[in-house]
């Protein structure tokens, strides 16, 4: 519970995820996409922060680290791929999910190539395509 009185699991109820993990970061210049994530994460009681640009997320990344970063690939200013590269330089094991509404294979391949392969046994970058 939010008041800290939660000690043991209660049958049929799971503890709030926000008590056990860092927030999920959503980076997207499209307000409607951020809104969908906000509603879904709130419903599941998962802590989150939203950012409208890669620059905002990078500024916050200097002082805190998310559980996972979910970013659009195409945004004004720095792209999601540039964010991915800079975030991985600061935090090589940070899981990153790159989203795109475009069927741009070249961008998807670039995202996978931007992810370091020598930092952990499994890839820590994923691509989601909205249909």
Query: CA 111: distance to chain centroid?
Result: 14
Asked whether residue 112 is domain-assigned, the answer is: yes
* Spatial CA neighbour of 85 closest among 42, 125, 54, 115: 115
Asked whether residue 7 is domain-assigned, the answer is: no
Asked whether residue 60 is domain-assigned, the answer is: yes
Q: What is the pLDDT of residue 104?
A: 58
Asked whether residue 8 is domain-assigned, the answer is: no
Asked whether residue 27 is domain-assigned, the answer is: yes
Q: What is the pLDDT of residue 13?
A: 52
Asked whether residue 96 is domain-assigned, the answer is: yes
- Total domains in the fold of the chain: 1
Range of the domain at 32: 22-129
Find the CATH number of the domain harbouring 113.
3.40.50.2300
**Rounded-to-integer distance, Cα 80 and Cα 77, Å:** 10
Asked whether residue 59 is domain-assigned, the answer is: yes
In this prediction the pTM is 0.70
**Rounded-to-integer distance, Cα 116 and Cα 122, Å:** 10
Beta bridge partners of 100: 129
User: How confident is the chain (131 residues) per 10-residue block, as mean pLDDT?
Assistant: 35 54 93 94 93 96 93 89 89 86 62 50 46 40
Asked whether residue 49 is domain-assigned, the answer is: yes
């Amino acid at each position: 519970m939010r008041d800290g009185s939660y000690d043991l699991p209660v049958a049929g109820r799971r503890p709030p995820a926000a008590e056990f993990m860092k927030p999920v970061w959503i980076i997207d210049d499209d307000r409607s996409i951020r809104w969908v994530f906000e509603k879904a994460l709130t419903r599941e009681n998962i802590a989150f922060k939203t950012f409208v640009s890669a620059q905002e997320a990078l500024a916050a990344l200097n002082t805190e680290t998310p559980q996972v970063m979910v970013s659009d690939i195409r945004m004004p200013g720095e792209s999601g791929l540039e964010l991915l590269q800079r975030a991985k330089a600061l935090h090589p094991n940070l899981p990153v999910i790159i989203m795109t509404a475009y069927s741009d294979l070249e961008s998807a391949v670039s995202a996978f190539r931007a992810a370091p392969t020598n930092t952990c046994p499994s890839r820590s970058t994923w691509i989601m395509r909205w249909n």
